[in-house]
Amino acid sequence: MKKVLILFFSLALLVACKSNEDKEEKRILSDSSGNINQITLVIKNSLWEGKVGEAIRDNFAAAVNGLPQEEPMFSLSQIPPETFTGFARKNRSFISIQKGEAGKRVVENLYARPQTGVIITGKNQDELIKEINENSEELVKRFKNTELKEKQRRMRKSLASDEQLQEKFNLSLKFPTAYRYAKVEDDFVWIRKEIPKGNMEILIYEVPIKTIEADTNIVGNIIKMRDSIGKAHIPGPTEGSYMITEEAYAPYLFETKIDGKFAYETRGTWEVKNAFMAGPFVNYAIKDEANDRFLIVEGFVFSPSQSKRDNVFEIDAILQSARIKSNKE
For 7-40, write each residue's pLDDT tens digit.
444 444 444 444 444 544 454 778 999 999 999 9
Q: What share of the chain is helix, strand, coil (3-state, %, to 5)?
A: 35, 35, 30
Helix (H, G, I), strand (E, B) or coil at 271: strand
| Degrees, nearest 5: CA angle 48-54-55 | 110
pLDDT in tens, 233-278: 999 888 889 999 998 888 999 999 999 999 999 999 999 988 888 9
HSE of 246, CA atoms in CB hemisphere, 13 A? 21
Burial 110-137 (b: 16+ CB within 10 A, else e): ebbbebbbbbbbbeeeebbbebbeebbe
Phi and psi for 83 in degrees, rounded to 5? -100, 0
CB-based contact 258:204 (threshold 8 Å): no
**Cα(202)–Cα(266) distance, rounded to whole angstroms?**
14
Q: Report, as ranges of residue numbers, the positions in the chain whose pLDDT lies below 70.
A: 1-27, 327-329
To 5 degrees, how large is the angle CA 207–CA 213–CA 218? 105
CA–CA gap between residue 284 and residue 316 (Å, rounded): 9
The answer to whether residues 200 and 193 touch, using CB atoms and an 8 Å cutoff, is: yes
pLDDT at 274: 81
**CATH 3.30.379 assigned to 30-155:** yes
Q: At what angle do helices 309-319 and 125-155 cross, to 10 degrees?
A: 60
Quote the CA–CA distance of 202 and 144 in Å, as a whole number. 21
**Where are the chain's structural domains?**
30-155, 163-324
The secondary structure of residue 242, as a DSSP letter, is B
Question: What is residue 17's three-state secondary structure?
Answer: helix
What pLDDT was estimated at residue 326?
73
Question: How many CB atoms lie under 10 A from the CB of residue 267?
Answer: 18
Residue 217 CB neighbours (<10 A)? 12
DSSP 109-152: SSSEES-EEEEEEESSHHHHHHHHHHHHHHHHHHHHHHHHHHHH
- The span from the CA of 12 to the CA of 5, in Å, is 10
Q: Tell me the one-letter amino acid at 61.
A: A
- DSSP H stretches of helix in the chain: 2-28, 45-48, 51-60, 125-155, 163-169, 209-212, 218-233, 309-319
N- to C-terminal Cα separation, the chain: 55
pLDDT at 11: 43
Q: Does domain 163-324 have CATH number 3.40.720.10?
A: no
